[in-house]
Structure 1
Amino acid sequence: MHKRALLAAFTALVAAAATFGVRLTADAAESEAVGQAAAPATFAHPGVLVSRAQLDFVKGKVSAGAQPWAAAYTQMVSSRYASLSRTPKPRATVECGSYSNPNNGCTDEREDALAAYTDALIWYIGGNPAYAQKSIALMDAWSATVKAHTNSNAPLQTGWAGSVWPRAAEIIKYTYSGWPNQARFATMLRTVYLPTVIGGSSSNGNWELSMMEAAAGISVFLDDRASYDRAITRFKARTAAYVYVTADGSQPKYPPVGSVDTRAELISYWQGQSTFVDGLSQETCRDFVHTGYGLSAISHVAETTRIQGEDLWPEVSDRMRHALGFHTKFENGTAVPANICGGSVVKGLGPVTEVAYNALANRLGIAMSNSKTYTEARRPQGTNNLFVAWETLTHANNPA
């Protein structure tokens, strides 16, 4: 339901409910209008982006020297994120302005989170407890220090870092014994990260999608069913408004929050694009880099829901297969037609296709030739140094 219609319906609902002495909240109305998600009765752990079965599959492939997993593992352990001499750089206040200017702890926070996740993967796959202990040291340093994120990019920064911390924490908590400060880390996620990301954003769609990825992952780690439901409900609405398919009608869906509620405003929000074709995203005509952020976050949340037993891949499959095919086609060299972004796009989708390609092509059997070409040519896909990391290793041809 569109924002203004929702508001009108909510107002009427409040008036009717008042007659019976019932008090409703805007969040409750939104959840009812969009459709309530269904958190599992018991969360699966580890269960943020990667499951134990997936990790076991990868461990077996790396141990056997099979490709592309062995090369991907070598890439990971050779990266700066795998250094056992890494010194964490936590801050009480992380200040991030537009395009990280100023950058007071922004890069440090993101990279320490990526390092914690990297170390957790190396621990599980390689079996060296020094990496588990290093992952714990990084998480402990931040949980003992960080209190807030400030400045204009604070919501996005919180989403990026908040997406990665739970991946590391899930692996360590459920596969390694000996993390005394685990409860303090959980408190950090609940008090510093979750309140910022759970409310979403009316900015470009990649912001809200990354924030919902963080909210969903944090909720899994905290076994917080209410927050998980709220995150997935908003995720569904934002995903539907981020990628256009012809089933939407003559134009894309309006974003779930914000002031965009006319066709003219929608076209402006879609970077001036007024011709809508299957797979076009709200940020395609901005650049493929930010589009890749949004598509990656969609794939991460969908994969987490699959692990948790809900599996939103069938629901998002039409949008994602078209989105990946549309953007990888141009990345692979197809000329951009004049009716798309004026005939010129800024490429740079990034290492973001493995999770979705595995889910859609391998699990659901959807033919995706453009995505296949793009994905296989770039293996092993590494990290974007923000919140994407090592997905050829974790998800390439992974049936688990």
Structure 2
Amino acid sequence: MARPRTILLAVLALLATLLAGAGAVPGAGDRAAAAPATFAHPGVLVSKPQLDFVRTKVNAGEQPWKAAWDQMTASSYASLSRTPKPRSVVECGSYSNPNYGCSDEREDAIAAYSDALAWYITRDSRYATKAIQIMDAWSAVITDHTNSNAPLQTGWAGSVWPRAAEIIKYTYTGTWSNSGRFATMLRDVYLPEIINGAPSKNGNWELIMMEAAIGISIHLEDRTSYDKAMGIFLGRVPAYVYNTADGAQPKYPPRSSIDTYSELVGYWYDQTTFVNGVAQETCRDFGHTGYGISSIGHVAETTRIQGQDLWPQLAERMRHAYGFHTKYENGEAVPSWLCGGSVNKGLGPITEVGFNALHNRLGIGMSNTEQYTLAHRPQGTENHYIAWETLTHADNPA
């Protein structure tokens, strides 16, 4: 018969495993993983004080906000004549092939967010009405996402819908009679597809999915889903961006079957030299890496708005992530030890949020990131889920 102490240790080990599977993360992340006692609204990526700052700058014609505003309002996303294209079932295969509603859903979500921003800055109710029209069109018909890219597609669109909904629901004084139906859409169609993550996929998938799950949880005021998503997020970050404090090699992706060094190297696209800031997908291409870095920044910024600022906890890791990739975007020669001496650049419009948080708010020197950010203003959209971050976050102290 097993001794009582042995049984107790086995039970404790099993409990720890179950908690890890549910998203619990040991160490410094525990405090930050818990949902706030009261959710702040609007509170997904942008707050009311941030929006007030932007509104003042745009209305005064100051740069770079005015150029960013002009960029957004000149785009099709902010067009008041836009007609949404909802589908009952959005089917997305690998690289959105087949593409049955994939681009339409992502772009309509960005359009709703663009209109919500335009409403707040102008107080022109036509923009709020257009945002509501787009959100209502989708909440009236969508029932599912299918095919191999369904979790990622759900994450892309699901990251943006709450940004739009938060602004409209909590700042627009007109009527949004179907706001409850929209919330039900997020709860029943989007959240189940993303809340359990994607342990064995490339890390940008899980980071995007958790960004969406956290934003949706805030809009729904769902503390349980928020805690689970935050736990998965905090476990994935150190498995995506390497920091020398992690040890000689990156962390294994949590909850996955990747648990040997050879498997890890293959997962990191055959990279074997690990330095501060290199990411799991760096040797794949900078575009997908940018997605992962962007979602980390979005979640950190959202936690700051919610009163549980993750930026100080992530600062060392993330300043290197931005700086490592922007220095090659800026033209520095790629060393032979990195990706065989060649990288696929194309980081995208992803640095404003992190640069503002780390450099402007925390006072961290980020010369490579600063050069890249200033050279690429105004940062617009890459048509998936990143949009108008020079407008919303450039030099924003709020």
Task: Please give the alpha-carbon distance, in whole angstroms, between the structure 2 residues aligned to 1:310 and 1:32.
Answer: 16
1:120 partner letter: A
Q: How many residues align?
A: 387
* Partner SS state of residue 364, structure 2: coil
Note closer, same or farther for the CA distance 1:368–1:13 as it changes in structure 2 (3 Å cut).
Answer: same
> What's 1:47 paired with?
43
Task: Please give the alpha-carbon distance, in whole angstroms, between the structure 2 residues aligned to 1:99 and 1:175.
Answer: 36
Task: Please give the alpha-carbon distance, in whole angstroms, between the structure 2 residues aligned to 1:257 and 1:370.
Answer: 34
> What's 1:271 paired with?
269
Structure 1 residue 126: Cα displacement: 1.1
Runs of 4+ in 1 over 3 A off after TM superposition: 14-17, 23-30, 32-36
Residue 180 of structure 2: which of 156, 180, 183 is its match?
A: 183
Task: Please give the alpha-carbon distance, in whole angstroms, between the structure 1 residues aligned to 2:26 and 2:50.
Answer: 35
> What's 1:89 paired with?
85
Indicate whether 1:306 and 2:304 are aligned: yes
* Partner SS state of residue 91, structure 2: strand
Task: Please give the alpha-carbon distance, in whole angstroms, between the structure 1 residues aligned to 2:65 and 2:350.
Answer: 16
Task: Please give the alpha-carbon distance, in whole angstroms, between the structure 1 residues aligned to 2:229 and 2:301.
Answer: 14
Structure 1 residue 233: Cα displacement: 1.0
Structure 1 residue 226: Cα displacement: 1.2
* Contact 2:25–2:234 under 8 Å retained in 1: no
> What's 2:288 paired with?
290
CA offset digits 1:317-360 (Å, max 9, x no partner): 11110010000000000000000001000000000000000000
CA offset digits 1:249-286 (Å, max 9, x no partner): 11000001211000000000000001101100000000
Task: Please give the alpha-carbon distance, in whole angstroms, between the structure 2 residues aligned to 1:51 and 1:171.
Answer: 9
Task: Report the TM-score when normalising by structure 1.
Answer: 0.94
Q: Percent identity?
A: 68
Indicate whether 1:74 and 2:70 are aligned: yes
Indicate whether 1:116 and 2:112 are aligned: yes
* Partner SS state of residue 369, structure 2: helix
Task: Report the TM-score when normalising by structure 2.
Answer: 0.94
Note closer, same or farther for the CA distance 1:250–1:133 as it changes in structure 2 (3 Å cut).
Answer: same
> What's 1:4 paired with?
none
CA offset digits 1:185-228 (Å, max 9, x no partner): 00000000011111000200000000000000000000111111
> What's 1:222 paired with?
220
Note closer, same or farther for the CA distance 1:285–1:185 as it changes in structure 2 (3 Å cut).
Answer: same
Structure 1 residue 13: Cα displacement: 2.4
Show structure 1 runs of 5+ residues with no match.
Answer: 1-8, 18-22
* Partner SS state of residue 253, structure 1: coil
Indicate whether 1:98 and 2:91 are aligned: no
Indicate whether 1:143 and 2:136 are aligned: no
> What's 2:249 paired with?
251
1:31 partner letter: A
Task: Please give the alpha-carbon distance, in whole angstroms, between the structure 2 residues aligned to 1:174 and 1:376.
Answer: 32
* Partner SS state of residue 141, structure 2: coil
* Contact 1:244–1:276 under 8 Å retained in 2: yes
Note closer, same or farther for the CA distance 1:74–1:265 as it changes in structure 2 (3 Å cut).
Answer: same
> What's 2:259 paired with?
261
CA offset digits 1:147-204 (Å, max 9, x no partner): 0000000000000000000000000000113100000000000000011111000200
1:248 partner letter: D
2:117 partner letter: L
Show structure 2 runs of 5+ residues with no match.
Answer: 1-6
* Partner SS state of residue 94, structure 1: strand
* Contact 1:10–1:29 under 8 Å retained in 2: no
Residue 56 of structure 1: which of 52, 55, 69 is its match?
A: 52
* Contact 2:25–2:235 under 8 Å retained in 1: no
* Contact 1:38–1:310 under 8 Å retained in 2: no
Structure 1 residue 377: Cα displacement: 0.5
Note closer, same or farther for the CA distance 1:209–1:10 as it changes in structure 2 (3 Å cut).
Answer: farther
Task: Please give the alpha-carbon distance, in whole angstroms, between the structure 1 residues aligned to 2:8 and 2:67.
Answer: 54
* Partner SS state of residue 214, structure 1: helix
Give RMSD over aligned pairs. 1.8
Indicate whether 1:201 and 2:201 are aligned: no
Alignment of 1:120-139 (within 5 A): 120-139=116-135
* Partner SS state of residue 182, structure 2: helix
> What's 2:24 paired with?
31
